C-alpha cells in the first residue's frame, strides 16, 4: 500500500500547472496565467526531486502499517526492480 500523503503536494502542483496551462493565452507571452503556469511547473519539479531523494514509503507486506524497514522508498524493498535503477 502506497503512502499517498507523500504525493499530495506533488499532485496539487501538477494539477495547478495543468489548469494554468489550459488558461494561458498562447498569443500573449507573459500574461498572469503563463506566469502562474511557470511557477507551478517549477514547484512541481522541486517537489518531484524532493520526493525522489527522500523515497516513498510503501507497505510491501500488505499489513496496513508501514514498518521501519518499509520506509525510504521502493529501492530498499527486497527483490524490487526499482533497486536496479540508479538516479
Give residue-wise pLDDT tens across range 16-43.
999 999 998 777 777 889 999 999 999 9
Cβ(6)–Cβ(57) under 8 Å? Answer: yes
- Cα 4 → chain centroid: 10
Instruction: Show the domain range for 35.
Output: 4-84
Written as one string, the DSSP assignment of 8-19 is: HHHHHHHHHHHH
Residues 68/85, Cβ–Cβ less than 8 Å: no
Cell numbers that stand for 44 in this block: 512541481
How many domains does the chain fold into? Answer: 1
The whole-angstrom separation of Cα 69 and Cα 31 is 48
- pLDDT value at residue 2: 67
Percentage, residues of the chain above pLDDT 90? 34
The better pLDDT of the pair 73, 81 is held by 73
pLDDT at 80: 47
pLDDT tens string 43-68: 999 998 888 888 787 777 888 887 87
Amino acid at each position: 500500500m502506497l503512502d499517498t500523503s507523500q504525493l499530495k503536494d506533488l499532485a496539487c502542483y501538477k494539477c495547478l500547472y495543468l489548469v494554468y496551462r489550459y488558461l494561458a493565452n498562447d498569443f500573449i507571452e507573459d500574461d498572469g496565467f503563463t506566469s502562474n503556469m511557470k511557477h507551478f511547473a517549477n514547484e512541481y519539479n522541486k517537489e518531484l526531486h524532493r520526493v525522489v531523494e527522500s523515497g516513498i514509503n510503501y507497505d510491501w507486506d500488505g499489513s496496513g502499517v508501514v514498518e521501519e524497514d518499509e520506509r525510504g522508498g521502493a529501492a530498499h524493498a527486497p527483490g524490487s526492480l526499482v533497486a536496479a535503477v540508479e538516479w
